[in-house]
Amino acid sequence: MKIAYWIVTGLFALFMAWSGVMNMMVDQGSIDLISTQLGFPQYIIPFLGFGKVLGSIAILVPGFPRIKEWAYAGLFFDLGGATFASIAQFGFHAETSFMFLFIVFHLASYFLYHKVKEQQNVRS
């Protein structure tokens, strides 16, 4: 269970951190997607990136269960909001369904986090 948790969480955190760094740098891909296509103001891009990077770090650092819960919530709102905005703007397309893969990784990481935590509490 612990190995599965670290694999899923590591992959998810890597994607979110990479995406966050690109947002923090306000790269052209972020501008094109978030501002131009979805219509959000450009000043929100580095803010979202900073939140993604902090959330990724928080879910990887052992301990701090309350911060971890907030990080999982924030990352879910980011993914859910991005998916919703994309569907609202363009309708549901094959490219949009790709976002559900990351939501599945998020939910799997969160579920496994609680399973590992539960196993540790039983041993204590």
Q: What is the pLDDT of residue 95?
A: 79
* Positions in the chain short of pLDDT 50: none
pLDDT per position as a tens digit, 54-68? 999 999 999 899 999
Q: What is the pLDDT of residue 19?
A: 96
Which of 101, 120, 93, 123 has its CA nearest to residue 1? Answer: 120
- Do residues 16 and 75 touch, judged by C-beta distance below 8 A? yes
pLDDT per position as a tens digit, 22-33? 999 999 999 999
